[in-house]
Chains A and B, each alone.
Chain A
Amino acid sequence: MAVSEQAQPVSGAVRGRQRRAREEELLVWPDLVFIEFIAAVLFTITLAILSVLVDAVLLDRANPAITPNPSKAPWYFLNLQELLLHMHPALAGVIVPTIALIALGAIPYFDTSSDGQGEWLSTPRAWANLIVGSIVGFFGTLLLIFYDASMHVRLYEWVANPGKSKFLSSGELDPSFNGWPESLAFLKSLRSIETELSWPDALTSIPLGEKVLRTDLLGLPAIPLEINVAKVIVEQIIPVSTMIGLPILLSIAAWKVGLAQTKRDHMILQFSGFIAVFVILTIIGTFFRGEGLELVPYTIYSHG
């Protein structure tokens, strides 16, 4: 219900603006209150039906002596639990989520232009950036997970040995089986870089002693540091460079081909990528991590 007749502008300069604004305005009661009411009613009905049909789970009484396999966090943290499988726990459990939240909060301080404000995806290349960002984030992450689960090794052995199994009927290894080449064993998964290459001992245990991390100054127990370069590379350097490097590469590529030209373009590209990564990590963590957190289809709550 427009109320233009209510507006009584005073000066000429203000009049034009005010009249335009007033004519495009509606009264909150009834127009908005009504919609809110309907939305609340519809939602209540949906939730009531859902609650009648589907019961909340309740498993056996908590027992610290029996660890279910797999043990999983609530679904909205399964993305982090999935990350945990691929990098140092401090990175996945604390540092990455903290930085992600800070970066999320900082979005408006990076993108201060008013392009595309107040309308759905209204800048010229918005949709293209959304789609490219989502696809790259989703499938890029999926490929990385597949790599760490040695899917490429399985694929190679399947293609190279048509109709053959790795084992003879007696259960022994088949000598004519074309396995993944030994010389490339370090490419089987991320962890194989540490386990399949012969690192010199001088690099895998560098004792730094208790005088580097002075936790004793904080009144905490002193931590003797020993650096394993192979571990640091696998658990920290590669994951960090992947998580920082790939998004930067994506932005550079999008900029080169003219897909992302403005700050808003880059924001949409990166945010969409982030959401897609979040989604695929959550999906994998929820539905495709079974016993021992192996990459297999998994039905939630199937464990007792």
Chain B
Amino acid sequence: MATGEQPRGQTLGDRLYDFAFKNRVWKSIFRSGYPNTPRNQMLAVATNVFLHLHPTRIHRTHVKITHTFCLGGLSFFLFLGLTITGVLLMFYYVPSIERAYGDILRLETDVRFGQLLRNLHRWMAHGMVLTVLMHMMRVFYTGAYKPPREFNWVVGVVLLVLTLLLSFTGYLLPWDQLALWAITVGTNMVGSAPILGEPNRFVLVGGFQVGQAALIRFYTLHVIGLPLIAAIFMAVHFWRIRRDGGLARPL
């Protein structure tokens, strides 16, 4: 549906362009036109809820790959990827000690692309721990924790802990020897705290040893509790980057 406002002599390209981007449907979804002018480019960012995590303009030095190495962005990207693959994994997995291990075996052998799905989730989880740690180092060495960004650094430390906990709770779910004993070793560390350690370990594991109660607790934390909390802290993290005036710059 061309608008017909163009002078005569339109090329085919112009017609196609008008057809694609100057119709009611496009305009009902994206308030701005196609982002090929500075105005539309800024509107594209400002009027889109996802892109609106960004400012519309950004300082030249921050676009250099070597400033951030995209590490925070990649951490977030991995978080999203983990959410998607995680939801798919939930289709095939029942958190019961009778079924869990068999479900993983069946996922690997009977489900089309099941092994690939599990591999992706696993490698992304390891990757996220690495990118978050490296992101922390890049923030430190670029001195980006300094005022006014102190609090966002603290939010970051909370995100680091949440990332580790997410990975740790997921570790138990395949219910193989690696999972059982890694979680046993890990939760015993909690139990070694003076006085309150043992009661805490008991609550975490839901008993004296890692069994069905632990599996369902870890599962619930892994698929809903921790991701929700992490998402909230990420929202605060990104909001604060904007509020603190974008990424840190030399004064």
Residues on A facing B (Cβ under 8 Å) = 1, 3, 6, 21-22, 24-33, 35-36, 39-40, 43-44, 47-48, 50-52, 54-64, 66-68, 71-77, 80-81, 84, 89-90, 92-95, 101, 104-105, 107-109, 111-123, 126, 130, 213, 215, 218, 220, 223, 264, 268, 271, 275, 301, 304
Q: Mark B98-134, 1 if CB is under 8 A from A, else 0.
A: 0001001100100000011011111110110100000
Query: In the bound complex, do residue B144 and residue A117 qualify as a contact, i.e. CB atoms below 8 Å apart?
Result: yes
Query: In the bound complex, do residue A113 and residue B177 qualify as a contact, i.e. CB atoms below 8 Å apart?
Result: no
CB within 8 Å of A: which of B124-168? 124, 126-127, 129, 137, 140-147, 149-150, 153-154, 157, 161, 164, 167-168
Whether B225 is near chain A, meaning CB under 8 Å from some CB there, is no
Could you say which of A47, A50, A56, A223 has the most chain B C-beta atoms within 10 Å of its C-beta?
A56
- B76 to chain A minimum Cβ distance, whole angstroms, is 10
Binds A, one of B5-13, B60-68, B216-224, B233-241: B60-68
Contact partner of B143 (CB less than 8 A), chosen from A22, A31, A32, A264, is A264
Q: How far is the CA of A24 from the CA of B181 in the complex (A)?
A: 54
Residues on B facing A (Cβ under 8 Å) = 35, 38, 41-42, 44-45, 51, 54-61, 63, 65-67, 70, 73-74, 77-78, 81, 97, 101, 104-105, 108, 115-116, 118-124, 126-127, 129, 137, 140-147, 149-150, 153-154, 157, 161, 164, 167-168, 171, 174-182, 184-186, 188-195, 197, 199, 209-211, 247-251
Nearest-CB residue, chain B, relative to A126: B141
Q: How far is the CA of A74 from the CA of B186 in the complex (A)?
A: 8
- B54 to chain A minimum Cβ distance, whole angstroms, is 5
Query: In the bound complex, do residue A115 and residue B186 qualify as a contact, i.e. CB atoms below 8 Å apart?
Result: no
Query: In the bound complex, do residue B140 and residue A113 qualify as a contact, i.e. CB atoms below 8 Å apart?
Result: no
Contact partner of A36 (CB less than 8 A), chosen from B60, B73, B116, B167, is B73
- B145 to chain A minimum Cβ distance, whole angstroms, is 4
Count contacts between A and B, CB distance < 8 Å: 244
Determine the chain B residues whose CB is within 8 A of the CB of A51 once the complex forms: 116, 119-120, 123
A–B Cβ pairs within 8 angstroms, 17 of them: A24-B59, A33-B51, A39-B70, A39-B74, A47-B127, A51-B120, A58-B178, A74-B167, A76-B167, A89-B189, A90-B197, A101-B161, A104-B157, A108-B145, A112-B150, A117-B249, A118-B251
